[in-house]
Amino acid sequence: MDGMVKSSWWLMVILLMGSMAYASDDPPRRIVAYYSSWSIYARQYFVTDIPADKITHINYAFANLSETGECLLGDEWADTQFPYPGETEGDGLLGNFHQLQILKDQNPHLQTLISIGGWTWSDRFSDVALTEESRQRFAASCVAFMKQYGFDGLDIDWEYPAGGGEPGNVERPQDPANFKLLMDELRRQLDVQGQADGRHYLLTIATGAGSRHIENIDWQAVHPALDWINVMAYDYSGGWSQQTGFNAPLYTEAGSESGGSADAAMQGYLKAGITADKLVLGVPFYGRGWREVADVNNGLHQPYGAVSAGGGFYNYRDLVGVLLDNMPRYWNNEAKVPWLYMPETGLMISYDDPESLTHKANYVSDNGFGGIMIWELASDDPDSTLLKAIHAALYP
């Protein structure tokens, strides 16, 4: 064996061992973190800021769907053209995609998936899934996209095959059945590519936590095609609610308007026939806020006058400092989540912090679930406080 071949062989062994260090855990302890293309703009959070040693998988959000039903870049500038320090336009592939490749080279255990769709770009999924021809075309384009930009798999964020996504999305009664066929075709083409490359390519999805998303899909038929399922167990309360409540309760507590919780969703998917190790609990690095909330029950489960600034959305990094330092913090021992309330101003904010995320990570470990999914990295504070809490609980 000559030196170059020998070096390449050992490099392959090292990379495989790095991946297996996480994949061999029983149960899996995945930490799946979304990184959004727009993080480089207002938030100034770059791929080079990601603490990759505390993550097993990065889902890059998002790729879009073309009018002809193919996978395409969501933000060409951020994805492939934005020059990081030390790069110039003549260097070839630039942007976040190039930096993700560098990050993987530096962290052999790390894998990346391209997430396709999301809330805003799910309008064409029903068309894509409609026929055998459209499914094949979409799958072929996504596999080619994955290969071209060096990803390790695909994450399909169809919101939602059971309906209830953004108003104006195309929806059909046959979407749940076609969703299964689409996953099968993606799995088939990924496996063909994997056989050619001598490796396994990942296929995952993000799915809703409400009963309609659980009960209207034949999950026993769908899940064999998937490596795991990210359950978006958040947005239980917000500006659409009649009263204040918890954004992401671990357990359902008395007085809850939504009646939902992360535990209820995870147990629902278990009853639908999905094995625990394939279920990844989604957690938010953001909170929801309301204004003009009466000083009753410290603002919890109360009517409100308006949502707070920014549509009632608070990144954790925005809470750190003034709000966390000056607003009284309360804890609900049923739901295992905190909230903030200032009676002088009537501001109430539901959010997750290191204590609540530690409870959620312990819940995942205690029940044999497949890990934690995070939306999203740029919402954490500069010290990665929330991510560190999750990692410490899953990897004590």
122 in a structural domain:
yes
pLDDT value, residue 203: 98
Domain that holds residue 104: 26-285+355-394
7 in a structural domain:
no
Pick from 226, 256, 260: which is nearest to 242 by CA? 256
pLDDT value, residue 30: 98
Q: Integer distance in angstroms from the first to the last C-alpha of the chain?
A: 41
313 in a structural domain:
no
Pick from 344, 283, 343: which is nearest to 316 by CA? 283
Kindly report, residue by residue over 206-264, the tens digit of the pLDDT. 999 999 999 999 999 999 999 999 999 999 999 999 999 999 999 999 888 888 999 99
Using CA atoms, how far apart are residues 116 and 277, in angstroms rounded to an integer? Answer: 23
* Token pair in block for residue 22: 């996480």
199 in a structural domain:
yes
What DSSP string describes 64-115?
EE-TTS-EE-S-HIIIII---TT--GGGSS-HHHHHHHHHHHH-TT-EEEEE
pLDDT value, residue 9: 38
pLDDT value, residue 20: 37
What is the separation of C-alpha 328 from the centre of its chain, rounded to a whole number of angstroms?
Answer: 30
Average per-residue pLDDT for the chain: 93
What DSSP string describes 337-355?
EEEEEETTTTEEEE---HH
CATH at residue 107: 3.20.20.80
Query: Out of 18-32, 66-80, 168-182, 369-383, which region has the weakest mean confidence (pLDDT)?
Result: 18-32
What does the chain come to in residues? 396
Using CA atoms, how far apart are residues 221 and 161, in angstroms rounded to an integer? Answer: 14
What DSSP string describes 116-132?
EETTTT-TTHHHHTSSH
CA separation, residue 302 to residues 202, 229, 257 (Å)? 44, 34, 10
Kindly report, residue by residue over 98-127, the tens digit of the pLDDT. 999 999 999 999 999 999 999 999 999 999
As a whole-number percent, the residues of the chain with pLDDT over 70 amount to 93
Number of domains in the chain: 1
Whether pLDDT at 34 is above 50 = yes
* Token pair in block for residue 9: 């062989």
Q: Where in the sequence numbering do the catalytic residues fall?
A: 159
181 in a structural domain:
yes
Q: Per-residue confidence at 175, pLDDT binned at 50, 70, 90?
A: very high
296 in a structural domain:
no
Using CA atoms, how far apart are residues 380 and 387, in angstroms rounded to an integer? Answer: 7
225 in a structural domain:
yes
pLDDT value, residue 90: 73
DSSP 275: -
User: Residue 208: how many CA atoms within 13 Å on its side-chain side?
Assistant: 21
Kindly report, residue by residue over 35-67, the tens digit of the pLDDT. 999 999 999 999 999 999 999 999 999 999 999
104 in a structural domain:
yes
Count of C-beta atoms within a 10 Å radius of residue 116: 30
- Average pLDDT (2-28) is 42
As a whole-number percent, the residues of the chain with pLDDT over 90 amount to 89
DSSP H or E segment with residue 230: strand 228-232
pLDDT value, residue 256: 86
Q: Which residues face 205 on adjacent strands? A: 156, 229
Q: Per-residue confidence at 14, pLDDT binned at 50, 70, 90?
A: very low
Pick from 312, 317, 324: which is nearest to 376 by CA? 317
Using CA atoms, how far apart are residues 47 and 149, in angstroms rounded to an integer? Answer: 15
pLDDT value, residue 91: 78
Strands 111-117 and 153-157: parallel
In terms of Cβ atoms closer than 10 Å to its own Cβ (0-12, 13-18, 19+), residue 117 is buried
pLDDT value, residue 157: 98
Q: Per-residue confidence at 22, pLDDT binned at 50, 70, 90?
A: very low
3-state DSSP assignment of residue 62: strand
Kindly report, residue by residue over 273-297, the tens digit of the pLDDT. 999 999 999 999 999 999 999 999 9
